[in-house]
Structure 1
Amino acid sequence: MRYIIIGAGAVGGTVGGRLAQAGREVVLVARGRHLAELAEHGLRLRVPEGESTYRLPAVDGPGPLGGLRPDDVLVLAVKTQDTVSALEAWADAPVAGGGTAAERLPLVCLQNGVESGRLALRRFRRVYGVCVWLPSAFEEPGVVSAAGSPLTGILHLGRLPHGTDDTARRIAADLADARFEAPVVPDVARWRYAKLLANLSNAIEALTGTRDTEPAQALYARVRAEGTAVLAAAGIGYPSAAEERAARDGKVTLVPLDGGPRGGGSSWQSLARGTGTIEADYLNGEIVLLGRLHGVPTPLNELLQRLADRFARERRAAGSLPLADLIRLADEAARPTG
Structure 2
Amino acid sequence: MRYIIIGAGAVGGVIGGRLAQSGNDVVLVARGAHLAALRENGLRLVTPSGTETLAVSAIGDPAELGELRADDLLVLAVKSQDTMAAVAQWGRAPVAGGGIAADRLALVCAQNGVENERVAQRVFRTVYGLCVWLPATHVEPGIVVAHSAPMSGILTVGRYPHGSDSVISEFGKRLSASNFDAPIIEDVMRWKYGKLLNNLGNALLALLDTSTDPAADLWQACRAEGEAVLDKAGIAYNTEAERQLVQGDRMTVQPIEGAARNGGSTWQSLARETGSVETDYLNGEIALLGRLHGVATPVNDLLQRLVTEHARARRKPGDLPPSRLREMLG
- TM-score, normalised relative to structure 1: 0.96
CA separation in 1, counterparts of 2:87 and 2:114?
16
Question: Which amino acid in structure 1 is aligned with residue 219 of structure 2?
Answer: Y
Instruction: Check conservation: 1:75, 1:109, Cα contact below 8 A.
Output: yes
**Residue 63 (structure 2) pairs with residue 56 (structure 1):** no
Question: Which amino acid in structure 2 is aligned with residue 284 of structure 1?
Answer: N
Instruction: Check conservation: 2:213, 2:322, Cα contact below 8 A.
Output: no
**SS of residue matched to 2:118:** helix
CA separation in 2, counterparts of 1:196 and 1:70?
33
CA separation in 1, counterparts of 2:74 and 2:209?
33
The CA deviation at 1:324 is 1.4
**SS of residue matched to 1:119:** helix
**Residue 253 (structure 2) pairs with residue 280 (structure 1):** no
Moved over 2 A (4+): 212-215
Counterparts of residues 1-338 of structure 1 (less than 5 Å): 1-210=1-210, 215-330=214-329, 332=330
What do the CA deviations read for 1:10-34 (whole angstroms, capped 9, x no partner)?
Answer: 0000000000000000000000000
Question: Which amino acid in structure 2 is aligned with residue 37 of structure 1?
Answer: A
CA separation in 2, counterparts of 1:320 and 1:118?
35
The CA deviation at 1:106 is 0.9
Question: Which amino acid in structure 2 is aligned with residue 294 of structure 1?
Answer: H
The CA deviation at 1:154 is 0.2
Question: Which amino acid in structure 2 is aligned with residue 104 of structure 1?
Answer: R
Structure 1: stretches of 5+ with no match in the other structure: 333-338
CA separation in 2, counterparts of 1:59 and 1:10?
17
The CA deviation at 1:215 is 4.3
Structure 1 residues 58 and 159 mapped into 2: Cα distance closer, same or farther (>3 Å)? same
**SS of residue matched to 1:139:** coil
The CA deviation at 1:306 is 0.3
CA separation in 1, counterparts of 2:209 and 2:326?
14
Instruction: Check conservation: 2:43, 2:142, Cα contact below 8 A.
Output: yes
CA separation in 2, counterparts of 1:252 and 1:260?
18
The CA deviation at 1:262 is 4.3
The CA deviation at 1:125 is 0.6
The CA deviation at 1:322 is 1.2
The CA deviation at 1:254 is 1.0
**SS of residue matched to 1:140:** coil
Instruction: Check conservation: 1:168, 1:184, Cα contact below 8 A.
Output: yes
What do the CA deviations read for 1:105-130 (whole angstroms, capped 9, x no partner)?
Answer: 11000000001111001000110001
Moved more, 235-244 or 306-315: 235-244
Instruction: Check conservation: 1:209, 1:268, Cα contact below 8 A.
Output: no
CA separation in 2, counterparts of 1:260 and 1:162?
37
**SS of residue matched to 1:304:** helix
Question: Which amino acid in structure 1 is aligned with residue 296 of structure 2?
Answer: P
The CA deviation at 1:274 is 0.3
Question: Which amino acid in structure 1 is aligned with residue 287 of structure 2?
Answer: V
CA separation in 2, counterparts of 1:249 and 1:78?
28
**SS of residue matched to 2:317:** coil
Structure 1 residues 214 and 197 mapped into 2: Cα distance closer, same or farther (>3 Å)? farther
Question: Which amino acid in structure 1 is aligned with residue 301 of structure 2?
Answer: E
How many residue pairs match? The answer is: 330
**SS of residue matched to 2:53:** strand
Structure 2: stretches of 5+ with no match in the other structure: none
